[in-house]
Amino acid sequence: MAADDITAPLGLDKGRKGRRLRIPFGLIATGLVSIFALFVIVWVTVVDDPLGGQPTAQVPLIKSRDGITARDIEVVSVKPSDRSGAPSPATTKTTRDSNSNGGTDHAKTNNSNESSRSNDSRSTALTTSPVAKVTEAGRHGPLPIIAKDGSRPLDVYAAPPRFQVAGVPRIVIIVGGLGLSQTGSQSAIEKLPNGITFAFAPYGSSLDRWMKKARRKGHEILLQIPLEPFDFPDNDPGPHTLLTSLAPAANIDRMTWLMARVTNYAGVINHMGARFSSSSEALGPMIEEINKRGLMLIDDGSSSRSVMATAASAAKAPFARADLVIDSIPSPEEIDGRLLQLEAIARSKGLAIGVASALPVSVKEIAEWANTAEARGVYLVPASAAVRVPGNGG
């Protein structure tokens, strides 16, 4: 019997010789991962700044014009006057209010807003009586017509654009619903600068008086034409609304009734009319009549289904479409945001068109925006400056 057999009781240690010690690597790795994970959890939970001083940045998303800083304004490029003598975009309100008699400044930089508004009216007053050569007697009253010499009401009644320097962002703002409310109409005429275009509803009781006030102030005006919406008659724009169910002759008769309510307008703009403006068949005769009378047509941009642009192009009619409705949500914050959006479109495309109603909140916010718009390098122009396609006689 070998010595190993004697010293190994009952053979329990048999075969121990030659066995290798096994290290539990898996258990060790699991332990290390657990320790690391626990360390990370404790670090994130306990330490105030787990990034340990890594560089960070916060970008505020601001809709209000109150959030614009000086740096935002400084990036706007403003071109000097050209060699032809056109006014510089940096020209102040005093220069743009100069009249044609020697260019005398009517308002100094430190004058009050009320004084400036009064001087605007004297220096930029437009005609307030119908011009005979572009007016004819209609069944319902005086109607616009192209003159024998080819002059259109669009040419005669349009307000001259105040800025003609190429490359500056231009904005058209059309405020509609004038003439319906005495207080609202008065407020709009008093508070809004003459670069704003006014659209008159055809149902006011003192349209001629308000038209003359607006024109003396220098505002270009449009006439609102009520068109059939999809939910008509539950949603009725008013008497003499143009309908898809009527024959073209009946719609033209309704439109001439509407056109005879006021004079001295350079064009028309739809009021509502999602159903009508989506029908090429209904639009065709209407646009032909508008073009025949030497007027421009503005689509207020409220309906995504509108085919007005296509129909106007087919008729070669002066036409423009609004980019957005400024007061679709009539709150100061939303209106401010839309006005800044309009500025962005103008800087991108060169020209932007916005429409609004003569609501008190809209008039207030647009007036405040207009007071600082030129300091940011954007300029108000009348709706006629946005016309893209020449009409008859143009």
Q: What is the CATH number of the domain that holds 226?
A: 3.20.20.370
Give residue 70's pLDDT: 38
Residue 393 lies in a domain: no
Q: Which residue has the tokens 């109150």?
A: 66
Cα distances (angstroms) measured from residue 56 to each of 47, 60, 325 = 17, 13, 38
> Is the same domain home to 161 and 285?
yes
> Is the same domain home to 37 and 71?
no
CA distance linking residue 38 with residue 30, whole number of Å:
12
Residue 370 sits at φ, ψ, to 5 deg, of -65, -30
Give residue 40's pLDDT: 73
> Is the same domain home to 378 and 333?
yes
Share of the chain above pLDDT 70, in %: 71
Q: Is the pLDDT of residue 105 over 60?
A: no
> Is the same domain home to 364 and 314?
yes
Residue 168 lies in a domain: yes
Give residue 29's pLDDT: 79
Three-state secondary structure readout of the chain:
CCHHHHHCHHHCCCCCCCCCCCCCHHHHHHHHHHHHHHHHHHHHHHCCCCCCCCCCCCCCCCCCHHHCCHHHHHCCCCCCCCCCCCCCCCCCHHHHCCCCCCCCCCCCCCCCHHHHHHHHHHHHCCCCCCCHHHEEECCCCEEECCCCCCCCHHHHHCCCCCCCCCCCCEEEEEEEEECCCHHHHHHHHHHCCCCCEEEECCCCCCHHHHHHHHHHHCCCEEEEEEECCCCCCCCCCCCCCECCCCCHHHHHHHHHHHHCCCCCCCEEEEEECHHHHCCHHHHHHHHHHHHHCCCEEEECCCCCCCCHHHHHHHHCCCEEECCEECCCCCCHHHHHHHHHHHHHHHHHHCEEEEEEECCHHHHHHHHHHHHHHHHHCCEECCHHHHCCCCCCCC
Q: What residues make up the domain containing 345?
A: 65-90+125-386
pLDDT per residue over 237-285, tens digit each?
999 999 999 999 999 999 999 999 999 999 999 999 999 999 999 999 9
> Is the same domain home to 204 and 336?
yes
Give residue 170's pLDDT: 95
> Is the same domain home to 8 and 139?
no
Of residues 325 and 19, which shows the higher confidence score? Answer: 325
Residue 101 lies in a domain: no
Residue 119 lies in a domain: no
Give residue 389's pLDDT: 54
User: For the residues 298-310, what does the mean pLDDT come to?
Assistant: 97
> Is the same domain home to 139 and 10?
no
pLDDT per residue over 151-193, tens digit each?
999 999 999 877 666 789 999 999 999 999 999 999 999 999 9
User: For the residues 219-238, what does the mean pLDDT come to?
Assistant: 97
- Name residues whose C-beta falls within 8 Å of residue 394's C-beta, 6 or more positions apart in sequence: 152, 154, 155, 318
Count of Cβ atoms closer than 10 Å to residue 110 Cβ: 7
Give residue 273's pLDDT: 97
Give residue 9's pLDDT: 54
Number of domains in the chain: 2
> Is the same domain home to 291 and 338?
yes
Give residue 116's pLDDT: 37
> Is the same domain home to 26 and 83?
no
Distance of CA 236 to the CA centre of its chain: 26
> Is the same domain home to 19 and 85?
no
> Is the same domain home to 266 and 187?
yes
CA distance linking residue 174 with residue 360, whole number of Å:
15
Residue 100 lies in a domain: no
Residue 196 lies in a domain: yes
pLDDT band at 74 (very low <50, low <70, confident <90, very high): very low
pLDDT band at 55 (very low <50, low <70, confident <90, very high): low
Residue 53 lies in a domain: no
> Is the same domain home to 161 and 34?
no
Q: Is the pLDDT of residue 102 over 80?
A: no
Residue 58 lies in a domain: no
Of residues 65 and 368, which shows the higher confidence score? Answer: 368
Q: Is the pLDDT of residue 344 over 90?
A: yes
